[in-house]
Amino acid sequence: MAPSASDSTAHPVSDRSLTMGHLALHYATPDDGPLASRLLQVMGLIETQMLPLPNGNFYRFVANPGHFARGDGIVYLSCLPEPQARLIAAIHSALHIGTDREHDAVKGWRTMMAQDFEASFHFGFLVPALEQLEALVQALTRLEATDPAFAGRLTIGMNRARRGDAAIDARLDASPVFGQATRYAYGSAGVQVFVETDLVRAGQLGDAMVFEFDYVFPGHDSHILSVVEI
């Protein structure tokens, strides 16, 4: 007989008290460490520790001040270990990544990602106010445009909420950020911003990381993070 939903052997944490603990991320070279840390701080993460190491700094961040002394809401950032960097280099060499002989599987994967920012590995944050999310996009756009250290290292995309709610549609039409957005989310009553950067290395090719920032309009039980719409 299959265990029931209330069977403690099927759900050892019987009071359903799990929280999201931490995510461990990497940057490629020691020189990228301070830039990657700065980027995460612009994105809103709070740096709580920087430990200088010979092979690149180790960083600890929390998502908000309530997580300072806790074990959840943490992002760790460190330099790629040499064996992992060698593995990524071997994958790139074998698949001829970045050359005119790039493997068709890589080309297909890139086409998929260009059409759908969230089709593969990414890490999402929830932003409490639309104005904060708009300010974040503007800040990142300025950073990439004005700071040579970040030039060409940030790609920003966005999805606006599906149309149908007059108040939300009007607010997004008037938005300095989402007013020009042409993509729509897989749901209503929320917006998404995607930031791809090679300052953090992850994913199938180990060459970039996609961060997602979401805002959900209040007063909606059905929204982009509660249900997926086709």
Return residue ranges of the chain for CATH 3.30.720: 19-79
How far is it, in rounded angstroms, from Cα 47 to Cα 157?
Answer: 25
Q: What is the pLDDT along the chain (230 residues), one digit of tens a residue?
A: 455 555 556 667 667 788 899 999 999 999 999 999 999 999 999 999 999 999 999 999 999 998 988 899 999 999 999 999 999 999 999 999 999 999 999 999 999 999 998 999 999 999 999 999 999 999 999 999 999 999 999 999 999 999 999 999 999 999 999 999 999 998 889 999 999 999 999 999 999 999 999 999 998 888 888 877 76
Q: What is the pLDDT of residue 17?
A: 81
For domain 19-79, say whether CATH 3.30.720 is its number: yes
Q: Are 154 and 143 in contact (CB under 8 A)?
A: yes
Alpha helices in the chain (DSSP H): 32-42, 82-94, 104-115, 130-146, 166-173
Q: What is the pLDDT of residue 69?
A: 87
pTM score, whole prediction: 0.90
Count the neighbouring beta carbons within 10 Å of the beta carbon of residue 80: 20
